[in-house]
Amino acid sequence: MTDTRTALIIGGGIAGPVAALALRRAGIDATVYEAHAGTADGVGGALSIAPNGRNALAVVDADEAVRRIGVPMTAMVLQSGTGRHLAELGSPPDLPEMLLVWRTDLYRALYTEAVDRGIRIEHGRRLVGVTDTDTGVTAHFADGTTAEADILVGADGLRSTVRTLIDPAAPQPRHSGLISFGARLADSGLPSTGGRMFMVFGRRAFLGYQVLDDGSGGWFVNLPHREPMTAGQARQTSAVRWLEVLRETFADDDRTPALTLLRRTDPAELLVVGPMEDLPTVPTWHRGRVVLVGDAAHAPSSSSGQGASLAIESAVELARCLRDLPHREAFAGYERLRRPRVEKIVAAGARTNRNKAAGPVGRVLRDLLMPLFMRFATPERMSWQFGYRIDWEARVTTAHGLPTSEVRLT
Ligand SMILES: Cc1cc2nc3c(=O)[nH]c(=O)nc-3n(C[C@H](O)[C@H](O)[C@H](O)COP(=O)(O)OP(=O)(O)OC[C@H]3O[C@@H](n4cnc5c(N)ncnc54)[C@H](O)[C@@H]3O)c2cc1C
């Protein structure tokens, strides 16, 4: 039975508001504390919400809000830089469609959903310390204020402070060797892609793009860059210069629309998203009354297409565990239910990154083998990833001292 009535959630990004909504559904009152003084409108590039992410959003009645701001992706078409068709991966049947969303719109949709339902989100509250006792947990903020509750949830992203507070030896994010760019275009100059996202493994960089029926659209590029570089360092180079670099990079991929998209991009619209990073494994997910969720616990690279979806799933699963078990058992049960799945997806994202940054020999092998490999990526084989569904009604129980659950995995 639960012993949790109140929670402090650190981080008001994607996982934070969803965790607050899910905890509310579990009967636990949560307040979100966000470091930034303002909201994160206008920041970030494109990302996908996979069918499994939408299933988890439905548990907290937030799927409709996200569907409204998303563009359906009915299939992913993989091409080489020579324009050769490598494979097409259709949306799994009987599942919600995959959505292409801009991080700023996703953030705003979840933020509004939470605030409209009475969740408190306090800005300018940067967590710097935690005091954990037998009876509760106290968060210490940079402005000298504190807050208390039964538990603290670290939803503070890839560079989580909570993660290092519960384990000073926690790993740091790993550079994938790629940096990411993107832009939205009011007029792409290209015909509609018919709901399909095209993924081009160019000779020297990777391009994804989708064009809507009205000719508007968006693109993202993953550019190999061996040296680690922070987003701040990447943004010191002007957008004009980056666009020149990207055009030079795709100069030989003239059988793809890369150059059209780049030429149509106004430098003011270029999003320098920054380095693509991941966290292969985070050894400690919880300590005492403190637990991690989202990128703080498991950060796949954006190549997985699952970062936000996994963060949403974990937020819902954590709340379900806390609904049914005292916090210690709940945290252990949550980790047991989540860790194998998220680490498998993190590893898959890292493999995709290696394909995107392939050298000349790797590129030839990739283009030869990918069509064969993709034949096995049938909807049935992908159902472990996309068909995942958290059964909110199922009780999480402990048997033989280990948390168990009636959760359905497909
Ligand atoms: C501004 C921004 C832009 C992004 N753009 C993209 C993108 O273009 N493409 C992509 O794939 N992913 C992007 N991401 C990452 C993406 O949102 C996450 O990978 C994923 O959705 C998981 O979300 P999360 O809530 O775990 O982490 P995040 O979305 O990173 O949210 C973490 C939140 O915690 C806050 N925070 C951090 N430290 C503290 C602290 N000490 N105290 C209080 N609050 C703290 C942060 O300000 C942030 O709001 C972006 C993240 C951010 C913050």
Ligand 1, atom 11, residue with closest C-alpha: 302
What pLDDT does residue 317 have?
A: 98
For a pocket test of ligand 1, which of 8, 10, 14 has the largest count of ligand atoms closer than 8 A to its C-beta?
14
What pLDDT does residue 409 have?
A: 31
Q: How far is the CA of 12 from the centre of ligand 1 (A)?
A: 8
Geometric angle at alpha carbon 83, from 77 and 89, rounded to 5°? 15
Q: CB–CB of 194/241 below 8 Å?
A: no
Q: Is the CB of 173 under 6 A from ligand 1?
A: no
> pLDDT, tens digit, for every residue of 68-106?
999 999 999 988 888 888 888 887 788 999 999 999 999
Give me the long-range contacts of 67-71 (CB less than 8 A, separation at least 24). Answer: 67/96, 67/99, 68/109, 69/101, 69/102, 69/105, 69/106, 69/108, 69/109, 70/99, 70/100, 70/101, 70/105, 71/99, 71/100, 71/101, 71/210, 71/212
Measured between alpha carbons, how far is 233 from 294 in angstroms, rounded to an integer?
Answer: 25
Where does 212-295 have alpha helices with state H?
231-236, 239-249, 258-263
Tokens found for residue 353? 């990154």
Q: Which atom of ligand 1 is nearest to 182's Cα?
A: 8
Measured between alpha carbons, how far is 299 from 173 in angstroms, rounded to an integer?
Answer: 8
Sort residue 118 into left (φ over 0), alpha (ψ -120 to 50) or beta: left
Which DSSP symbol is given to 205?
A: S
Domains, the chain, with CATH or none: 6-71+99-173+279-356 (3.50.50.60), 175-277 (3.30.9.30)
pLDDT (tens, 9 = 90+) of the chain, 410 residues, equals: 888 999 999 999 999 999 999 999 999 999 999 999 999 888 888 999 999 999 999 999 999 999 999 999 999 998 888 888 888 888 778 899 999 999 999 999 999 999 999 999 999 999 999 999 989 999 999 999 999 999 999 999 999 999 999 999 999 999 988 999 999 999 999 999 999 999 998 889 999 999 999 999 999 999 999 888 899 999 999 999 999 999 999 998 878 899 999 999 999 999 999 999 999 899 999 999 999 999 999 999 888 899 999 999 999 999 999 999 999 999 999 999 999 999 999 998 888 777 666 666 666 666 666 665 565 566 677 788 999 999 999 999 875 445 555 443 32
For a pocket test of ligand 1, which of 108, 127, 156, 282 has the largest count of ligand atoms closer than 8 A to its C-beta?
156
Tokens found for residue 319? 């709340």
Instruction: Give the three-state DSSP class for 317.
Output: helix
Q: CB–CB of 161/125 below 8 Å?
A: no
For a pocket test of ligand 1, which of 21, 34, 180, 277 has the largest count of ligand atoms closer than 8 A to its C-beta?
34
What pLDDT does residue 407 have?
A: 42
Ligand 1, atom 49, residue with closest C-alpha: 13
Which DSSP symbol is given to 380?
A: T
What pLDDT does residue 86 have?
A: 84
Q: Which is nearest to 46 in space by CA: 104, 96, 97, 91?
A: 104
Q: How far is the CA of 13 from the centre of ligand 1 (A)?
A: 5
Measured between alpha carbons, how far is 219 from 198 in angstroms, rounded to an integer?
Answer: 9
Q: How far is the CA of 103 from the centre of ligand 1 (A)?
A: 9
Label residue 195 exposed, middle or buried (CB < 10 Å: 0-12, 13-18, 19+): middle
What pLDDT does residue 365 have?
A: 61
Beta bridge mates, 316: none
Q: Is the CB of 207 under 6 A from ligand 1?
A: no
Ligand 1, atom 41, residue with closest C-alpha: 127
Measured between alpha carbons, how far is 320 from 260 in angstroms, rounded to an integer?
Answer: 48
